[in-house]
């Protein structure tokens, strides 16, 4: 068997290739779903005080039904599926679902509280082809609000550092007493020591609206962003998040219902986890026409929305329609010098797949674009 660093490197390059291809597809096609969240069970083994996503008794979605839903999402042209719950590791056939997602060349992400991880389960997730794992950790020691605690999960994080062939993101929710804000910095430091990534989310109510956060939490969120390893982190540059943290609403169009779908345990399509009940159409009857219609509908919850993955899709759509404006929104000019801060690779991708607004692409750009499309197997 190949040594772990080699296996990880191969998987990393394969994932990078597929993710680049999917970003290019998302830039080119404007109607298909980019992200879908699929609930595999509503049951959870924990009971976080701020959570409205779980119960204590539901059965897992039967695997045949789950596979049918994945097939349907693939037929709609979905590029990334995130497996969510409840607690996803409670699903006995989770690996079959992951393998099915990967068989369509989609990116497969899973969210878990990590309690049920073991070395054997990590190896089985490797074999299934999992692309990314997100683990939520809210505090150092368990308390009445959350038991997703570093002290309990540290051993699992070490197992992941040793055996996982996929990247692991540690996600912490900050604000409204969910955690002691400085715990998040300790969690981030530990994540870095183990080679994991870390992000911090803002606490929201059950409708997705940001909740009031104090100055201490604001400081911690800023510090986590500043410590983020990747220069291209959307969390770090996200202009929607910056305005929300400044207490201001965002003026944007939410494309959920088309570009983002949330599939509940009953197989109904909803805008997102926070806006369940709209449009609540069975996935097996959902069409591209439904995607287009629902994506266009105005969403009254948009101004204070904290669902950052949908912001990201809206930004990609804006990049296609008005690339210059989108890039300046994400990478504003340097405050002191006025110089552009747009990273070179982002400029190359933008010019290859979306062109410059109002300009006819040069023959070299057209040739480059065709070659890249062939390389990425986008017909
Ligand atoms: S672990 Fe996740 S799904 Fe379970 S109660 Fe906590 S937040 Fe909700
Ligand atoms: S704006 Fe869109 S993503 Fe945000 S809560 Fe509303 S429907 Fe969900």
Closest listed residue to residue 61, CA positions, set 78, 79, 85: 85
Q: Residue 53: CB within 6 Å of ligand 1?
A: yes
Q: Of all atoms in ligand 2, which is nearest to the CA of residue 255? A: 2
What would the mean pLDDT of 120-131 be, rounded to a whole number? 98
Q: Residue 203: CB within 6 Å of ligand 1?
A: no
Asked whether the predicted pLDDT for residue 256 surpasses 80, the reply is: yes
What would the mean pLDDT of 340-347 be, rounded to a whole number? 67
Asked whether the predicted pLDDT for residue 94 surpasses 90, the reply is: yes
Q: Report the pLDDT value the prediction gives residue 308, as an integer from 0 to 100.
A: 86
Asked whether the predicted pLDDT for residue 377 surpasses 70, the reply is: no
Q: Residue 87: CB within 6 Å of ligand 1?
A: yes
Whose CA is closest to atom 2 on ligand 2? Answer: 254
Q: What is the whole-number distance in angstroms between the Cα of residue 44 and the centre of ligand 1?
A: 6
Asked whether the predicted pLDDT for residue 174 surpasses 60, the reply is: yes
Enumerate the β-bridge partners of residue 110: 83, 133
Alpha helices (H) along 43-173: 63-75, 94-103, 119-128, 150-163
Compute the 3-state secondary structure of the chain and give helix, strand, coil in percent, each to the nearest 5: 45, 15, 40
**Which range (142-156, 256-270, 349-363) has the least confidence?**
349-363
Asked whether the predicted pLDDT for residue 325 surpasses 60, the reply is: yes
Strand order of the β-sheet with 168-174 is 197-202, 168-174, 132-136, 107-112, 80-84, 35-39, 260-263, 268-270, 279-282
Enumerate the β-bridge partners of residue 261: 36
50-69 residue pLDDT tens: 888 899 999 999 999 999 99
Q: What is the whole-number distance in angstroms between the Cα of residue 11 and the centre of ligand 1?
A: 29
Asked whether the predicted pLDDT for residue 299 surpasses 80, the reply is: yes
Q: Report the pLDDT value the prediction gives residue 238, as an integer from 0 to 100.
A: 79
Q: Report the pLDDT value the prediction gives residue 364, as an integer from 0 to 100.
A: 73
Q: Which CATH architecture has domain 31-320?
A: Alpha-Beta Barrel (3.20)
Closest listed residue to residue 168, CA positions, set 127, 211, 206, 137: 137
Whose CA is closest to atom 7 on ligand 1? Answer: 51
Q: Residue 275: CB within 6 Å of ligand 2?
A: yes
Determine the residue of 37, 39, 47 to mutate for testing ligand 1's pocket, defined as the one with the most ligand atoms within 8 A of the Cβ atom: 47
207-243 residue pLDDT tens: 777 777 778 888 888 887 777 655 456 666 778 888 8
Q: Residue 258: CB within 6 Å of ligand 2?
A: no
**Confidence class of residue 21 from pLDDT cuts 50, 70 and 90?**
confident
Q: Report the pLDDT value the prediction gives residue 217, as an integer from 0 to 100.
A: 80
- Between 246 and 117, name the one with better pLDDT: 117
Q: What is the whole-number distance in angstroms between the Cα of residue 103 and the centre of ligand 1?
A: 29
Write down the mean pLDDT value for the chain: 87
Domain range annotation of the chain: 31-320, 321-375
Percent of the chain with pLDDT over 70: 85
266-286 residue pLDDT tens: 999 999 999 999 999 999 999
Q: Report the pLDDT value the prediction gives residue 234, as an integer from 0 to 100.
A: 66
**Confidence class of residue 372 from pLDDT cuts 50, 70 and 90?**
low
Q: Is the peptide bond before 372 cis (omega within 30 degrees of 0)?
A: no
Q: Report the pLDDT value the prediction gives residue 320, as an integer from 0 to 100.
A: 77
Most confident of 111-125, 168-182, 213-227, 340-354: 111-125
Q: Residue 305: CB within 6 Å of ligand 2?
A: yes
Whose CA is closest to atom 6 on ligand 1? Answer: 48
Q: Residue 274: CB within 6 Å of ligand 1?
A: no
Q: Report the pLDDT value the prediction gives residue 324, as an integer from 0 to 100.
A: 72
Ligand nearest to the Cα of 301, by number: 2
Q: Report the pLDDT value the prediction gives residue 230, as an integer from 0 to 100.
A: 55
Asked whether the predicted pLDDT for residue 165 surpasses 90, the reply is: yes
Tokens 């990967």 belong to 102
Q: Of all atoms in ligand 2, which is nearest to the CA of residue 271? A: 7
Determine the residue of 272, 311, 314 to mutate for testing ligand 2's pocket, defined as the one with the most ligand atoms within 8 A of the Cβ atom: 272
Asked whether the predicted pLDDT for residue 146 surpasses 60, the reply is: yes
Q: Residue 47: CB within 6 Å of ligand 1?
A: yes
């Amino acid at each position: 068997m190949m040594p772990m660093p080699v296996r990880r490197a191969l998987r990393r390059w394969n994932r990078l290739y597929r993710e680049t291809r999917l970003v290019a597809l998302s830039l080119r096609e404007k109607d298909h779903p980019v992200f879908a969240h699929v609930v595999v069970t509503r049951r959870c083994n924990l009971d976080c005080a701020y959570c409205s996503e779980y119960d204590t008794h539901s059965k897992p979605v039967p695997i045949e039904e789950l596979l049918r839903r994945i097939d349907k999402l693939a037929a709609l042209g979905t590029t990334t599926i995130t497996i969510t719950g409840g607690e996803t590791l409670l699903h006995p056939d989770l690996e079959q679902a992951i393998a099915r997602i990967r068989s369509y060349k989609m990116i497969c992400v899973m969210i878990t509280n990590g309690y049920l991880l073991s070395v054997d389960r990590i190896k089985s997730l490797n074999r299934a082809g999992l692309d990314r794992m997100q683990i939520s950790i809210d505090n150092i020691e368990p308390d009445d609000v959350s038991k997703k605690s570093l002290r309990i999960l540290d051993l699992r994080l070490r197992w992941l550092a040793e055996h996982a062939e996929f990247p692991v993101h540690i996600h912490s929710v900050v604000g409204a007493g969910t955690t002691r804000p400085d715990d998040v910095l300790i969690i981030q430091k530990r994540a870095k020591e183990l080679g994991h990534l870390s992000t911090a989310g803002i606490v929201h109510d059950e409708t997705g609206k940001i909740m009031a956060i104090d100055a201490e939490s604001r400081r911690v969120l800023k510090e986590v962003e500043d410590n983020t390893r990747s220069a291209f982190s959307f969390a770090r540059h996200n202009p929607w998040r910056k305005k929300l943290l400044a207490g201001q609403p965002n003026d944007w169009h939410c494309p959920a219902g088309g570009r983002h779908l949330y599939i509940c345990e009953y197989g109904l399509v909803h805008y997102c986890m926070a806006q369940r009940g709209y449009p609540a159409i069975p996935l097996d009857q959902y069409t591209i026409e439904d995607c287009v219609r629902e994506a266009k509908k105005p969403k009254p919850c948009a101004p204070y929305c904290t669902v950052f993955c949908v912001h990201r899709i809206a930004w990609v759509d804006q990049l296609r329609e008005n690339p210059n404006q989108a890039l300046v929104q994400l990478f504003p000019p340097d405050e002191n010098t006025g110089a552009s801060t747009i990273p070179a690779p982002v400029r190359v991708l933008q010019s290859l797949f979306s062109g410059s607004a109002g300009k006819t692409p040069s023959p070299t750009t057209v040739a480059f674009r065709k070659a890249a499309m062939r390389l990425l197997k986008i017909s």
